[in-house]
Amino acid sequence: MPETSTAIGIDIGGTNLRAARVSSVGGILERVSERIDRDADGAVRRIVELVRQLDRPDVTAIGIGVPGRVDARRRAVLSGGYLNLAGTALAERVERITGKPVVIDNDCNMALVAEIAVGAGRGRENVVMFTIGTGIGGAIVQEGQIVRGRGTAGQLGHITVDVNGAPCVCGRRGCVETTSSGMALARHVAEAGLPAGTAIDDIVRRAGRGDAAARRVLDLWVRPLRAAIDSASAAFDPDVVLLGGGLGKAAWRALRKVPALAPWYQYPVEAAELGDDAGMIGAAVCALIEHRTVMPPPVAAELPVLERPA
């Protein structure tokens, strides 16, 4: 693969569809974004349009991070949440229309690849990551490889924190996504009578001044997240737990008010560095790695060692 090769990385979020042309060292060269189309066929059409906007002669491949359960080896979307792309033959359709080879994986796996390549996980071989945005996703790397199980693992947003809790899109109740996601935060804020759109950092400040409503919101949002982090840490014994996504840094700051209680769970928790860019960068990095071989083979599990972009 020439060092001048680039790839297009696409991140399908719960709210926004983001795409970027990314260099061979993980730097974003161009980017576009728009609100997500919740209709699967409409979303595929918008993905193709974003690819066309970013396509250049040096683009060798396309990577797509998909919410929900993905079998990356078979390039198959198994299920989704807010946008369900199961059964759309996503990779094949985009590949056929654009003429570029396509790799797909769970969006959180893509984000963690980026963080290990050029972000907060650089140099770590055992990492657990929660991505906190509209919903909550997760990814796991052990001994330098993405944990995939039979095809899709790392659904950390569906760790149960309350067996009698709110219904989740996965079909169960009380998943941490129902308590500690962006949508859950908005619900907690509304139920507490706080102004719509009140940011979590403002809630932390209010709670520190003794505001009872803010303290309740903080407790409802952060304590279940701490429980989920402790459960994931008990299962995977990571070097570090990263909090990414649009609310990752805010959640990391808020968690300092809710430390792990048991000695067994004293694992470092750090904010991811790449924010909403992580999914795009990771998708492009995976596409660049994959395109070194004949398409379409299984997605390479070994993570790249890249220089940080200037």
* Token pair listed for 5: 């090769």
Task: Match 């997240």 to its residue by tokens.
Answer: 225
Q: 6-111+277-290 — its CATH code?
A: 3.30.420.40
Q: Which long-range contacts (CB under 8 A, 24 or more apart) does 187-194 make?
A: 188/216, 188/217, 188/220, 188/221, 189/217, 192/216, 192/217
Q: What distance separates the 2 farthest-apart alpha carbons in the chain?
A: 60
Q: 125-271 — its CATH code?
A: 3.30.420.40
Whether a cis peptide bond, with omega within 30° of 0, leads into 309 is no
* Token pair listed for 74: 């078979």
Residue ranges matching CATH 3.30.420.40 in the chain: 6-111+277-290, 125-271
* Mean pLDDT of all residues belonging to the chain: 88
- DSSP structural state of residue 167: B
CA distance 253 to 96: 44
Per-residue confidence of the chain (310 residues) as pLDDT tens digits? Answer: 455 789 999 999 877 899 999 998 899 999 999 988 778 888 889 999 999 999 999 999 999 999 888 888 888 888 776 678 888 899 999 999 999 999 999 999 999 999 999 999 998 999 999 999 888 999 999 999 999 887 778 899 999 999 999 999 888 999 999 999 999 999 999 999 999 989 888 998 998 899 999 999 999 999 999 999 999 999 999 999 999 988 999 999 999 878 777 888 888 999 999 988 999 999 999 999 887 633 333 333 344 444 444 4
Predicted local confidence at residue 303, as pLDDT: 46
Predicted local confidence at residue 2, as pLDDT: 52
Closest CA to 229 of 210, 251, 207: 251
Q: In whole angstroms, how far apart are CA 234 and each of 58, 123, 259, 267, 285?
A: 44, 22, 15, 10, 30
Model confidence pLDDT, tens digit, residues 188-204: 999 999 999 898 889 98
CA distance 251 to 221: 9
Q: Is 267 helix (H, G, I), strand (E, B) or coil?
A: coil
Strands 59-66 and 28-35: unpaired
Per-position b or e across 11-29, b if 16+ CB within 10 A of its CB: bbbbeebbbbbbbbbbbbe
- DSSP structural state of residue 84: -
Q: Where are the beta strands (DSSP E) in the chain?
A: 6-12, 16-22, 28-35, 59-66, 69-71, 76-79, 102-106, 127-132, 136-142, 145-146, 240-244, 269-271
* Token pair listed for 292: 């070194």
Helices (H) and strands (E) in the chain, counts: 9, 12
Predicted local confidence at residue 304, as pLDDT: 44
